[in-house]
Amino acid sequence: MTKSRLEPQTGTAFELKARQLLRVIDLEGEQVADLTAFARGDTTEWLSSGRSIDYANTIYLTKSHILYSNRSQPMFTILEDEVGRHDFLLTPCSPETFQIIYDNHEPHPSCFENLWRNLAEFDIPPDAIPTTFNIFMNVEVGPDGTLKILPPRSKAGESITLRAEMDLIVGLTACSAELSNNGRFKSIGYEIL
């Protein structure tokens, strides 16, 4: 087992073999971790929000749901989920997110940058990064379709466990967006079993 820790507002990329488990832990509570993945053998196959939501018939994916690729192949199965609320609608926060939504034009760390900088090691370019599975992110949809970003429901030590269903390249962050993390940036733990 490899146990690792992402410092606040950072990211990483690593390989995960088929049948290995990835456990993502909210070490302090109310902290989002963005996850993306690509097929190890062909990185034009990637984790698809649209396919996964379509086949699960819900936007709230949790225990026993499968996360699919753009080619409709299972990439992950969610084996355990102590939180039960994650987002798969929204893109990883990017420098433009902070300019457009937060009106913040100063340099700001972002999941998008933390993903592409780390995925570059695997020759995955920034434009290839799809909508991320935003672990612990709490997005409510109003009756009129309005989205509300609420504090994560995750408490310190709670986790989600995903099983890789193919050999993968995985990108993972400790999210950098104020609103998604109840205004405080914390670490994210992860284990490969």
Provide the binding-site residues for Zn ion, judged by CB under 5 A: 93, 111, 175-177
> In angstroms, rounded to a whole number, what is the distance separating the alpha carbons of residues 181 and 178?
6
Q: How far is the CB of 144 from Zn ion (least distance, A)?
A: 26
Which residue, 10 or 159, has its beta carbon nearer to Zn ion?
A: 10
Measured from the CB atom, is 111 or 129 closer to Zn ion? 111
**CB count, 10 Å around CB of 94?**
20
Rounded to a whole number, what is the distance in angstroms from the first to the last CA of the chain?
5
Query: Rg of the chain's alpha carbons, rounded to an integer?
Result: 15
Q: Tell me how far apart the alpha carbons of residues 116 and 95 are, in angstroms, rounded to a whole number.
A: 12
**Least Å distance between CB 117 and Zn ion?**
14
Give the CB-side neighbour count of residue 136, counting CA atoms within 13 A: 35
Give least dist CB 17 to Zn ion, A.
27
- If the CB atoms of residues 59 and 179 are measured against Zn ion, the closer one turns out to be 179
> From the CB of 52, what's the least distance to Zn ion, in Å?
19
Q: How far is the CB of 9 from Zn ion (least distance, A)?
A: 9
Residue among 66 and 174 whose Cβ is closer to Zn ion: 174
Which CB sits closer to Zn ion, 52 or 94?
Answer: 94
Tell me the CA distances in angstroms from 135 to 44, 101, 111, one per residue in order.
23, 21, 12
178: its two tokens: 């104020």
